[in-house]
Structure 1
Amino acid sequence: MKLTGNTVFITGGGSGIGRALAEALHRLGNKVIIAGRRRHRLDEAIAANPGMEAIELDITDPASIERAAATLIADHPELNVLINNAGIMEPDTVAGKIDEALLTSTISTNLLGPIRMTSALIEHLKTKHNGIVAYTSSVVAFVPLAVTGVYSSTKAALHSYALSQRFMLRHTGVRVIEIAPPWVRTELMNSEEAELAMPLDEFIAETMAILGTDADENVVEAAKPFRANVGPGEHDFVNGFNEQALALFGGG
């Protein structure tokens, strides 16, 4: 991914990894628009970064997503990068009865939201040179954290979706990138002071260095043991499987 000259839209950009990514890209001279539900967080971010813009977005609401997409295309027709970063993480009880509100909100935010957001912008992104769709998944997409089983499942599903979309967009100008953070010091699970978590500034520095390459997956050193758990050759196997499927069923 080229690191300058982009117009970038980042969901969940008011705090944590989303804000840190937004600020890193902003410092490089990209036009950055962030989105989230907490207006005060958005206002704090844009006040600290003159030139950055923000729009309110409820990633769980399809109508809010469609409104945001229409606004972005109208106000920023040069938009070429979408970073789906919004997410929530709560402990759950997979060994017992799952709280319905937790289940619905986690799946709506972490899985349905990114799919819907990308769907709303994908035809626009196809018209751009250097189009990018990025998803922030997690190392728990590869090695689930049992105390957050629903969250882990949404990240595994997001990884699977990114693999499918990357394959289906292989002949277009749009690249699909997956960012898979390890445990990072953010608000998720009250991890800001966790000694074993990766400092946010270190994660962003390493992530930005990888974003500047042609890598489809952004996996920092601390995350590599988790990614390796699924075994070697996953991409070749996935692509070969899908080439055979296309021969059988057509499409793509």
Structure 2
Amino acid sequence: MNIQGNTIFLPGGTSGIGLGLAQRFAAAGNTVIVGGRRRELLEQISRDTPGIEGVYIDTADADSIASVSAEVQRRWPSTNVLIAMAGIMRAENLTGADFLPTAEAIVTTNLLGPLRLIANFSEFLQAQDAATIVTVSSGLAFVPLVHTPTYNATKAAIHSFSEILRLQLADTSVQVIELVPPAVQTTLMPGQETSDYAMPLDDFLTEVMGIFRSQPEAKEILVENVLPLRTATATGTYDRMLGMLAASH
């Protein structure tokens, strides 16, 4: 992926990693269309950051995804990058039935949301000379966290889906990149924004953008902090990492 000169649609970009990436990509010379549900934040981001536009989208709603995808393609026909960032992370207790509504909400946002976005953009992006789909999994796709079982599962599914999406699009103009964050200091979970175990957001963004610049053909964006999780099975450290994650939370 070329680091500049793109038109990027980034649903899930009003806070945290999504907003940080939107700002970094805009500063690098890209047009960025940020999508989210908080209209006041969309207006503020568009007003404060040159190169960023805002559109309302609810990535838990199939109709919203379809209509907004069509709107983006109509208003910004040069759109050549989709970053499917939107996601939620919630704790669950599987010992009773009460977890099910939470699990269903996580699956709808974290798994169906990206799949629906990709379904609405796949043919459009294949018509561009050079295009990219960026999926967002997690280090927890490779070593799960005990308190967030459905989040872990959706991110493992995104990893598997990304692998096959890349293979099926191999003969097209569309590159598929999987962004694999570790824990980052954002508001994704209560207390995570100031947690010592989470990577500072600015450090994460700087390392990610450096990888995009230096490895334009990368299949996965892996910062140093996520490598112990990503490689745990291959290095024989999976059980140890699983126990360490459980103990640290």
Look up the equivalent residue of 2:151 and give its one-letter code. Y
- Give 2:14's aligned residue: 14
CA distance in 1, matches of 2:98, 2:135: 26
Structure 2 vs 1, CA of residues 230 and 168 (structure 1 numbering), >3 Å: closer, same or farther? farther
CA distance in 2, matches of 1:2, 1:129: 12
- Give 2:146's aligned residue: 146
Look up the equivalent residue of 1:144 and give its one-letter code. P
CA distance in 2, matches of 1:71, 1:36: 14
Count of paired positions: 232
- Give 1:136's aligned residue: 136
- Give 1:195's aligned residue: 196
Structure 2 vs 1, CA of residues 146 and 98 (structure 1 numbering), >3 Å: closer, same or farther? farther
Matches within 5 A, 1:52-91: 52-91=52-91
CA distance in 1, matches of 2:98, 2:228: 30
The worse-fitting range, judged by mean Cα deviation, of 38-47 and 198-207 is: 38-47
Q: Deviations over 1:45-99 (max 9, x none)?
A: 2222033101110101111011111101110110000000000000001233242
SS at match of 2:233: coil
Matches within 5 A, 1:216-231: 216-231=219-234
Look up the equivalent residue of 2:5 and give its one-letter code. G
CA contact (8 A) 2:82 2:132 kept: yes
CA contact (8 A) 2:30 2:51 kept: no
The worse-fitting range, judged by mean Cα deviation, of 51-60 and 93-102 is: 93-102
CA distance in 2, matches of 1:50, 1:206: 23
Give, in angstroms, the shift of residue 44 of structure 1. Answer: 2.4
Give, in angstroms, the shift of residue 8 of structure 1. Answer: 0.2
Structure 2 vs 1, CA of residues 98 and 149 (structure 1 numbering), >3 Å: closer, same or farther? farther
SS at match of 2:193: coil
Look up the equivalent residue of 2:146 and give its one-letter code. A
SS at match of 2:109: helix
- Give 1:246's aligned residue: none
CA distance in 2, matches of 1:94, 1:176: 34
Look up the equivalent residue of 1:220 and give its one-letter code. V
Aligned Cα root-mean-square deviation (Å): 1.1
Matches within 5 A, 1:23-42: 23-42=23-42
Look up the equivalent residue of 2:199 and give its one-letter code. M
CA contact (8 A) 2:144 2:152 kept: yes
CA distance in 2, matches of 1:156, 1:96: 23
Look up the equivalent residue of 1:198 and give its one-letter code. M
Matches within 5 A, 1:99-248: 99-190=99-190, 191-212=192-213, 213=215, 214-231=217-234
Give, in angstroms, the shift of residue 132 of structure 1. Answer: 0.3
CA distance in 1, matches of 2:47, 2:200: 24
Give, in angstroms, the shift of residue 119 of structure 1. Answer: 0.6
SS at match of 1:21: helix
SS at match of 2:4: coil
CA distance in 1, matches of 2:27, 2:212: 15
CA contact (8 A) 2:60 2:113 kept: yes
CA distance in 1, matches of 2:113, 2:66: 11
* Superposition TM-score, scaled by structure 2 size: 0.90
CA distance in 2, matches of 1:19, 1:28: 14
- Give 1:247's aligned residue: none
